[in-house]
Amino acid sequence: MKKLKKKILIFDIDGVLLNSSHNMYLSWTKVQNKYSLENIAFKKYFKNIGKPFFNILSSLGINKNKKEIYFTYMKESIKQNNEVRFYSGITQSLKELKKNKFILCIVTSKDSIRTKMFLKGYTKLFKLIMCQDLNTRGKPHPDKIIKIIKILKVKKEDCVYIGDTNIDYKTAKNSKIDFIHARWGYGNRYNYKYFANKISDLKRILILNKN
């Protein structure tokens, strides 16, 4: 596998940095019970992970009470924040990558409140954190990655998106940047050109920058 020479490492959160699946399960169960959506199993919801929340609801055929459902889900997710954990070795690897002069960023479909809460004090490791907002389209649209490229004044070939789902792959493709599949996450193991079985494998894939 040919190594990638990159300056900007853009990470997804859920399934890449954080194991948040049980938090999602508890939050969706709360939504099911409150809005009589027991027929829409968590498995169906989980298949759409990576898309903005309202897009997930549309994909599931839910067209009523969207805002109420969103706030119910978000409130329960915050309440169950202790169910969100960093994957093993993530924080140490992020520190090592930053030490090797990589610029670390985040592009996520999660809102900024929960993103900062779940990342805790590790937000300082990231130069830019792009969350779901009203000004840019969510994944798989390229808007947020393009915004990072413009703010940092870098070339597309300097960037790589590290994600775990096919939505993340499409986001990278639409942004015309390289993609590394995080195999430890939630997505299926498609035949991606670049992949990592664990985060420390990034050192094998990337040409390390000189200190």
The pLDDT confidence band at residue 88, using thresholds 50, 70 and 90, is: very high
Assigned domain for 210 exists:
no
Pick the closest to residue 74 from 93, 90, 54 (CA basis).
54
Q: Are residues 184 and 112 in the same domain?
A: yes
Q: Are residues 158 and 70 in the same domain?
A: no
pLDDT at 189: 75
pLDDT at 68: 97
pLDDT at 188: 80
pLDDT in tens, 95-137: 999 999 999 999 999 999 999 999 999 999 999 999 999 889 9
What's the average model confidence in pLDDT over 163-192?
Answer: 93
Last residue of a domain, which of 62, 83, 104?
A: 83
Q: Are residues 137 and 166 in the same domain?
A: yes
Nearest-angstrom CA–CA distance, 103 and 159:
9
The answer to whether 7 touches 209, Cβ cutoff 8 Å, is yes
Q: Are residues 179 and 90 in the same domain?
A: yes
Question: Hey, what are 197's tokens?
Answer: 């079985």
pLDDT at 6: 96
Q: Are residues 123 and 46 in the same domain?
A: no
Nearest-angstrom CA–CA distance, 112 and 154:
24
Whole-structure pTM value: 0.95
CATH number at residue 194: 3.40.50.1000
Overall number of domains in the chain: 2
Classify burial at 77, counting beta carbons within 10 Å of its beta carbon; exposed 0-12, middle 13-18, buried 19 or more.
buried
Assigned domain for 37 exists:
yes
The pLDDT confidence band at residue 191, using thresholds 50, 70 and 90, is: confident
Percent of the chain with pLDDT over 90: 92
Q: Are residues 155 and 190 in the same domain?
A: yes
pLDDT in tens, 46-74: 999 999 999 999 999 999 999 999 999 99
Q: Are residues 52 and 155 in the same domain?
A: no
Q: Are residues 70 and 101 in the same domain?
A: no
Assigned domain for 3 exists:
no
Residue 86: CB atoms within 10 Å = 16
Q: Are residues 102 and 195 in the same domain?
A: yes
What's the average model confidence in pLDDT over 149-172?
Answer: 97
pLDDT at 211: 52
Last residue of a domain, which of 83, 101, 123?
A: 83
Nearest-angstrom CA–CA distance, 49 and 165:
8
| Sign, Cα dihedral of 168, 156, 9, 112 | negative
Min mean pLDDT across 106-110, 174-178, 179-183, 201-205 is at: 201-205
**Full residue range of the structural domain in which residue 74 is found:** 21-83
Last residue of a domain, which of 83, 116, 131?
A: 83
Assigned domain for 179 exists:
yes
Contacts of 85 (CB under 8 A, 6+ apart): 18, 19
Enumerate helices (H) and strands (E) in the chain, giving the number of each.
9, 8
DSSP H/E element including 163? strand 159-163
Classify burial at 124, counting beta carbons within 10 Å of its beta carbon; exposed 0-12, middle 13-18, buried 19 or more.
exposed
Min mean pLDDT across 5-9, 70-74, 189-193, 195-199 is at: 189-193
Assigned domain for 2 exists:
no
Q: Are residues 73 and 132 in the same domain?
A: no
Q: Are residues 101 and 139 in the same domain?
A: yes
